[in-house]
Amino acid sequence: MTRRVVLLVYPGFVLLDFSGPLDALSLANEVSRLGYQLTVASLHGGLVRSSSGVEIATEALPKTPIDTLIVAGSLAPPEGPWVGELATAIRETSGGARAVRRASERVRSSWPKAAY
């Protein structure tokens, strides 16, 4: 049974919070029969710059049901006109997910509690 996992990034995310879970799940795909369909997403898709300046290609956050949503952390609370829209999208996407995970404690401290 394949599980659909979305790794969500946004401007200023910490690269390690993204790459750690991605590598772990990719390795799990190699050694397990479970299988994870991995999607790297952002609010609207396209290139997203991390806190270290590395840009990651993303798809738009899916509107279809997923099994797990993993949200990368950031060094400071995200700022910009997109933050409210992304918090709403996280709530909507996580409503149908079997699990929602923060990649680190930085997510807990940098995002409004209402986003989760």
Determine the topology of domain 3-57+69-115 in CATH: Rossmann fold (3.40.50)
Rounded mean pLDDT of 7-15? 93
Whether 108 has a pLDDT exceeding 50, the answer reads no
Q: What is the pLDDT of residues 14-42, one digit of tens each?
A: 999 999 999 999 998 888 877 899 999 99
Q: Say how far apart CA 60 and CA 94 lie, in whole Å.
A: 15
Please write the tens of the pLDDT for every residue from 35-73. Answer: 899 999 999 999 999 999 999 999 999 988 888 899 998
Q: Is the pTM value of this prediction over 0.75?
A: yes
Q: And the tokens for 34?
A: 């479970």
Q: Beta 46-49 vs 55-60: how paired, if at all? A: antiparallel
* Three-class secondary structure of residue 82 per DSSP: coil
